[in-house]
Homo-oligomer: A and B are copies of this chain.
Amino acid sequence: MTDKGISGVRMTMKRLTNFAGVAAMTALAATPALAQEPITFDKGDIAWMSVSTILVLLMTLPGLALFYGGLVRSKNMLSVLTQVFSIVAIVAVIWIVYGYSLAFSDGGALNLYVGGLSKMFLAGMDLNTPAATFSNGVYIPEYLFVMFQMTFACITPALIVGAFAERVKFSALIVFVVLWVTLIYFPMAHMVWWWGGPDYFAAQATALAAATAAGDTAAAEAAQAALSANGLLFNWGALDFAGGTVVHINAGIAGLVGCLVIGKRVGYGKESMPPHSLVMTMIGGALLWVGWFGFNAGSNLEANAVSVLAMLNTFTATAGAAVAWLLAEWAMKGKPSLLGLVTGAVAGLVAVTPASGWGGPVGCMFLGIVAGVVCLIFCTTVKNAFGYDDSLDVFGVHCIAGIIGAIGTGILVNPGLGGAGIPDYISQPGSLIVADYVFGTAVWAQVKAVIFTLLFSGIGSFIIFKIVDIVIGLRPSVDTEREGLDLAEHGERAYTV
């Protein structure tokens, strides 16, 4: 059977540091406890996680596609839609072939960094294979976990394309995406989300205690090893409920790198390039909001009060951020804009992603407000100051709000601020208790995760972009860019009225 989970460490970091770096080849192999007891799935969990999966697809198609598409000039509308839609389809296929395995299987010697190939083509799974959640004794079908996670793998690379929209060759982009998910995304997912699950932890903790009592050092070491056979960032104790680092910071920095490597659009700064349809952008933004509930609340992997809290937080943070951007822009630029309102909402959604299951509704509302204002300043003042052409503000919204959210999570998790507190699955094996909150440790773990992601994804993406640029060439000809990618690359026109 397989155990795995989503979201940052759920044990006290203190404990883990003891084990850091210990390899654990065999750890996941033997899990007798679970092998015996027959596992049943709750129909409510299946219903909820099925819906969550559907919602994440909805936020990508048509959600993200329209949010981005509406912001480009009509001559490039279809290129954006085609990019997003084809990325979803292609990554889904890759996910079944080897992606899931690289992200969510034991990686052997490389386990800290990436999974193995044992689950290629979903090998060894059937209707009854369970996947662990975050509650002791609660499981969902692994097929469901595979599918839910698949939607995350599909949307992340799609987020990147906004940074260099209107000026990338389709063929080059597809090659880039295939390389990027393989070399950047799957490892990131493994490093942040791969762990043994609550029951597995309980079993090992019990074994550890017994061994220590019996003075059996060998057994004790084995148990310790098993307890740290998780992804690298997971072991660092980074909290990421729904993918702030893996999805948003990761895609955001890759986007920035991409737009710098590819360069500005022809005529950028000289010709005017207004969004061709803010209506489409609004529809997309609204669907992002709607679908994001599946993204965040679904990341709880079961339907209970925690998924409800994650949903409520997603709601309050988004509302707060939208209002904040609207008012701040009104004050700064003199007019409240729809685009600002919608962008603010997205910034709030991004910021609350890592915090959704950890913070309280009011804390997350403030997190959203901060994200709204900071991202506004970033997408206007800062961006113009640096003068890079991040067409759709992938960096300014996803990366910046992602960082705000990641670090904010370290603060808002504090029960003193209405947070859920840092979980401890080990002190009392079999039950989940809350460990003491230590500001410094909590925030530092978040900062480390952010820095790691920026470096790993930033550098990795740069190398991949360069290789693709050399081999295929990332950029179409100037004439192609002027004519528009729709006709030149896809032989279609978005609107024929």
Measured CB to CB, the residues of A under 8 A from B are 41-48, 50-51, 53-55, 57-58, 61-62, 65-66, 69, 73-74, 77-78, 81-82, 85-86, 88-90, 92-93, 96, 121-122, 127-128, 141, 143-144, 146-147, 150, 170, 274-280, 282-283, 286-287, 289-290, 293, 297, 302-309, 311-312, 315-316, 318-320, 322-323, 326, 333-339, 341-342, 345, 361-362, 365, 420, 489-497
Contacts and interface: CB of A to CB of B under 8 A. Distances in A.
A348 to B, nearest CB: 9
Q: Which 7 A-B pairs have the closest CB atoms?
A: A43-B44, A92-B319, A61-B286, A47-B48, A89-B322, A127-B305, A62-B286
Contact of A89 (B323, B361, B496): B323
Given A85-B322, A92-B316, 9 more contacts: A42-B44, A43-B303, A53-B311, A81-B278, A86-B341, A89-B323, A275-B496, A335-B490, A336-B490
A50 B294 CA distance: 10
A490 B337 contact: yes
Q: How many copies does the complex hold?
A: 3
A186 to B, nearest CB: 17
Given A61-B290, A77-B279, A86-B341, A311 B48 contact: no
Contacts of A335: 489-491
A305 B141 CA distance: 6
A17 to B, nearest CB: 29
A309 B50 contact: no
A340 B279 CA distance: 23
Contacts of A283: 62, 66, 283
Contacts of A290: 54, 57-58, 61
25 contacts: A43-B48, A43-B304, A45-B47, A47-B51, A47-B303, A48-B50, A50-B307, A50-B308, A53-B293, A58-B286, A58-B290, A62-B283, A62-B286, A73-B496, A81-B282, A82-B341, A86-B326, A89-B319, A89-B322, A89-B323, A92-B315, A93-B323, A147-B311, A278-B493, A335-B489
Contacts of A141: 305, 308
A81 B334 CA distance: 19
B361 A96 contact: yes
Contacts of A146: 312
